Amino acid sequence: NRTSTTDWSASTAGATNTASLTLSAAVFPASGLTFTWTSPNFGPSISYSPLGHTALFGNRNLDDVIISDAGGVAGGGLAPRVYWRVNIGGTWQSAATTSGSSPYDFIIGTAGLVVGDTVNYFVVAQDLAGLVTANPSAGFTATDVNTILTYPTSPSFYFVVGLPLTG
């Protein structure tokens, strides 16, 4: 929080941040002054290859999900989870990862599907600082991986299709 854009020694520490002061050879802190900077913390990065449409009626594996965070990914009861629902209006369900570290594997528990069903899904993770992210993330908010406040507006999905006819 500096109040000058040209002279470190003439600026006031701790005031409202009304100016931006760029560190350079011409604008450098006076000898004996100490300045600290803390890098911003972002939630975990989540990436995976979307599942293709299927003729299978049971559970699906979502494997090799890469989740990383500079401060570490939470585990135990706050381990990464996959959320899914069958068809629009279905109830969201979830399961924790079956892996202890990245790449993570998940099982989408969708036994009993029929041709024409659509399965929506997304992956959620949080870091050790408690920041929660999801993929896809548009519209998503949560307090932790177990408490989703708003679900993604455009989750990943796959269709259950019939087997091709052969003749």
Per-residue model confidence as pLDDT tens digits over 122-156: 999 999 999 999 999 999 999 999 999 999 999 99
- CB contact at 8 A, 156 and 136: yes
Task: For residue 9, give the DSSP letter.
Answer: T
Dig out the tokens for 110 from the structure: 């969708």
Residue 44 has pLDDT above 80, yes or no: yes
Query: Which secondary structure element, helix H or strand E, spans residue 118, and what is its range?
Result: strand 118-126
pTM metric for this prediction = 0.76
Determine the 3-state secondary structure of 84 from DSSP.
Answer: strand
* Percent with pLDDT over 90 in the chain: 67
Dig out the tokens for 39 from the structure: 């890098």
pLDDT at 28: 60
Distance separating alpha carbons of residues 109 and 93, to the nearest angstrom: 8
By C-alpha distance, which of 155, 159, 160, 135 is closest to 145?
A: 135
**Rounded to whole angstroms, what are the CA distances from 114 to 24, 82, 111, 149?**
64, 21, 9, 29
98 CB-side CA count, 13 A? 10
What mean pLDDT is predicted for residues 13-35? Answer: 59
pLDDT at 19: 53
Q: What is the pLDDT of residues 83-119, one digit of tens each?
A: 999 998 889 999 999 999 999 999 999 989 999 999 9
Highest mean pLDDT among 5-19, 33-47, 53-67: 53-67
Backbone phi, psi, residue 135, to 5°: -135, 120
pLDDT at 1: 47
